[in-house]
Structure 1
Amino acid sequence: MGLKDIFHLARVPSILMLGLVYVLYVLIGGVVFWKLEGDLGQKDISLLLLSKQKVLSTYTCLDQDGLEKVAQVVQDSSKAGLSLKANSTTDGFWKFTSSAVFAATVVTTIGYGNMSPSSTAGQIFCVFFALFGIPLNMVVLNRVGKYMLVMERNISNYLEGKTGRRTCTRFFVHLVSYLSGALLFLFVPMIVFQLHEGWTYSQAIYYCFITLSTIGFGDLVADNNPDQVYPEWYSVLMASWIFFGLAWLALVINHSIDMLERLNMHLKQWWGGHEQEEQSGGVGSDNPDSHVEEQEEVNRPPSKQ
C-alpha cells in the first residue's frame, strides 16, 4: 500500500477540514467572550478596587492584613455553607439531601465546586466513587436515552402508518420531542429556580443549560444559599431533574451529531464525487466511514413493532 492509499484511507483532507472548523469555532468563541466580558471584567476590577479603598478608609482600624483575614473568613464561610447574616447554617451543607445531590454531580461530572470533601477519607472515597460511578452513569444514561429514542421512533412509525408521509411525520415528531423536552427540562425548571433562588430568568435558563450539559461552572448553584430555607422536596426534585435532563440533552446532542455527520457526508460527496464513484466499484469496503456507519446501524436500538 502506497502513501497515497494510506492518506486516502485516513481521509486526511476531511480530518484537516474538520480540525480547522473546530479550531476556528473555538477561536471565534474566544473572541466573542473577550469582547463581551473583557471590558466588563476590567470595570468589575476597578469597582472592587474602589470598594476596597472605601472599606479601608471607613474602617480605619482595619489594615491590609486584617482585610485579607476577613476575606478568608468570608471565603471559608461560603464554602462551609455558613450564613454571615444569621451566623448559623440551616441544616449544614453535608446533610443527606445535599450530599446525595453532591454524589450526583460527581458521577455526572458536573462538579460545581461549591462543595468538596475536605477529609482524607472523603477525598479517597470520592476518587473510587467517581471511578466506578462515572462509567455506570454513562451506561444508565445511554440506556435511558435509547429508550427515549425507541419511544420516539415508535410514535413516528405509528404516525407514518396513519398518514403515509415519512419525512413530514419524522420532522413533526422530532420537533414535538425537542419542544416538549425543552419545556420540561429547561423552561419549567427555569420558573422553579426563579421562584426559589431569586434569580432572573436569564440566570435560571443559563444555570439549567450549564448544569444539564455538565459544564458546571459553579457561579450559580441551586439549593446552595444558606440564607434561604428550601422545602424538603426541593433536593429530590433537583436530583431527578438532573438525571432525566441529562438523558434528554444527551439525546438532543446525539441528534445534532447525527446531523453534522450527515452534513459532513454530503460535503465529502460534493468534494470528491469522482472518488466516490471509484470506491463504489470495489474500494468502498475499505472506507472507514462506511464501517462506522455500518457499526452505528448495528448498534441502533430496534423499534418495537
Structure 2
Amino acid sequence: MGVKEVLSSIRVPSILILGLVYVVYVLIGGVVFWKLEGDLGQKDITQLLLKKKRLFTSYTCLNQAGLEDVAQVVQAASKAGLSLKSNQTTDGFWKFTSSAVFAATVVTTIGYGNTSPSSTTGQIFCVFFALFGIPLNMVVLNRVGKYMLALERSISDFLEGKSGRKKCTRFFVHLVSYICGSVLFFVMPMIVFQLKEGWTYSQAIYYCFITLSTIGFGDFVAESNPDKDYPNWYSVLIASWIFFGLAWLSLLINHSIDILERLNNHFKQQLSSEKPEEEPSSAEDSDPHTEVEDETNKPPVTQ
C-alpha cells in the first residue's frame, strides 16, 4: 500500500496535519538557531568576562557596585538617544520626527524596544494609542494592499487583451511586480541605510526584512545612533517606507498563502481521485434475476 493510499484511508483532519507541520517547522528552526548561535553566544560571554576583568585591572578604584552604576548610566543614555562621547546636548530620541517614527512602530507592532515611554502618562497613552491604532493600521494596510492588487490585475487584464495569453501574462505581471517591490522596498533602502547608518549590506537587508515583517528585534534600528546627525527628511522617509513596505509585504504573503492553499487543494484532489470505488451496497442491485425480471417487464419496442 502506497503513501497516498495510507493517507486516504486514515483521513486525518487537515488542521492536525497543518499544526504538526507548524510545530515541526518551529522546532527545526530552534535547532538551527541553537547550532548556529549557541557556540557564538558562549564565546561572547567569555569575551565579556575577560573585558570585565581587564576593566577592574585598569581602573583599580572601580568595584562591582561602581561598574553597575556605570552600566546603568550607559543603558539610560542609550535608551534616551544621548551620546557619551561628547558633552554636546542633543534632542535624543524624543524629537518630533523620531517620535512620529516611534508612533508608527507602535501601531505596526514592530516594537524595536530600543526606546519606550518612561513616564506613567506616556505609558498609559501608549496603551490606548496602540489599542485603537493597531486595528486602524490593519484596516488601512489591507485597503492599500487591495489597491495594489487591483492595479496589478488591471495591468494584467490590459496586457491579456493585447497578447491573448492569459497564464503567461499573469505570470509576467506577478514577476515584474515582485521584482519592482523588492527593488523599491529592499534594495534601495539597503543602499540608503548603508550610506546613512554605516551598516554593511547584509546588515541593512537584514534590518529591512526584520522591520517589514514586524519581527523587530531591535538589534539594528535606523536613526538611533546618537553620534550621528540625521536630517528631518530621513524620519519621513523611514515612516513612509515602513507603511508602504508593510502593505507590499502583506500582499506578497497573501500571494504565498494563496499558492499554498492551491497546492493543498491539488494534493487533496489527487488523493480523492485515487480512492477505490465503493462496491454496491444493495443486494438487489447485484442480483442477476432482478435484472432479468426488469428486462422482461419492459414493453416491446415498436417500430
**TM-score, length-scaled by structure 1:** 0.85
Map 1:9-158 to 2 at 5 A.
12-158=12-158
What is the alpha-carbon distance in structure 2 between the residues aligned to residue 270 and residue 13 of structure 1?
16
For structure 1, which runs of at least 5 residues remain unmatched after alignment?
1-7, 279-305
Residue 89 of structure 1: how far off its partner (Å): 4.3
Q: Which amino acid aligns with 1:211?
A: T
CA contact 1:213–1:249 (8 Å) conserved in 2: yes
Q: For structure 2, list consecutive stretches of 5 or more residues without a partner in the other structure.
A: 1-7, 279-303
Aligned residues: 269
Which amino acid is 1:30 matched to? G
The 1:89–1:267 alpha-carbon spacing in structure 2 relative to 1, beyond 3 Å, is farther
Distance in 2 (CA, whole Å) between partners of 1:19 and 1:272 is 22
Cα distance in 2 between the residues matched to 1:101 and 1:193: 16
**TM-aligned CA deviation for residue 264 of structure 1:** 1.1
CA shift for structure 1 position 67: 0.9
Q: Distance in 2 between matches of 1:123 and 1:73?
A: 22
Does residue 1:213 correspond to 2:210, yes or no?
Answer: no
CA distance in 2: counterparts of 1:202 and 1:89, whole angstroms: 33
Determine the structure 1 residue equivalent to 2:281: none
CA distance, structure 1, for counterparts of residue 181 and residue 90 of structure 2:
34
Match of 2:172 in 1: 172
Query: Which of the two has greater helix per residue?
Result: 1
What's 2:235 paired with?
A: 235
CA distance in 2, matches of 1:139, 1:37: 38
* 1:44-64 Cα distance to aligned partner (Å, 9 max, x none): 111111111011111111111
Find the aligned partners of 2:55 and 2:85 in 1 and give their Cα distance.
18
Any conservation in 2 of the 1:210–1:216 contact (CA below 8 Å)?
yes
Shift of 1:13: 2.5
Q: TM-score, normalised by structure 2?
A: 0.86
Deviation at 1:189, TM superposition (A): 0.2
**How do residues 177-188 of structure 1 correspond to structure 2 at under 5 angstroms?**
177-188=177-188
Equivalences for residues 273-292 of structure 1 within 5 A: 273=273
2:285 maps to what in 1?
Answer: none
Q: Aligned pair in 2 of structure 1 residues 276, 227: CA closer, same or farther (>3 Å)?
A: farther
- The percentage of aligned residue pairs carrying the same residue is 79
- Measured in 2, the distance between the counterparts of 1:79 and 1:144 equals 33
2: distance between equivalents of 1:93 and 1:15? 45
* Deviation by residue 1:16-65 (Cα, 9 ceiling, x = unmatched): 21111111111111111111111111111111111110111111111111
CA gap of 1:204–1:89, structure 2 versus 1, over 3 A, is farther
Rg comparison, structure with higher value: 2
Aligned letter for 1:209?
F
- Taking a change above 3 Å as real, the CA distance of residues 233 and 19 of structure 1, as seen in their structure-2 partners, is same
Structure 2: which amino acid aligns with 1:75? Answer: Q
1:267: how far off?
Answer: 1.7
- For residue 210 of structure 2, what is the amino acid of its counterpart? I
Give the Cα separation in 2 of the matches to 1:56 and 1:245.
47
In structure 1, what residue type is equivalent to 2:65? D
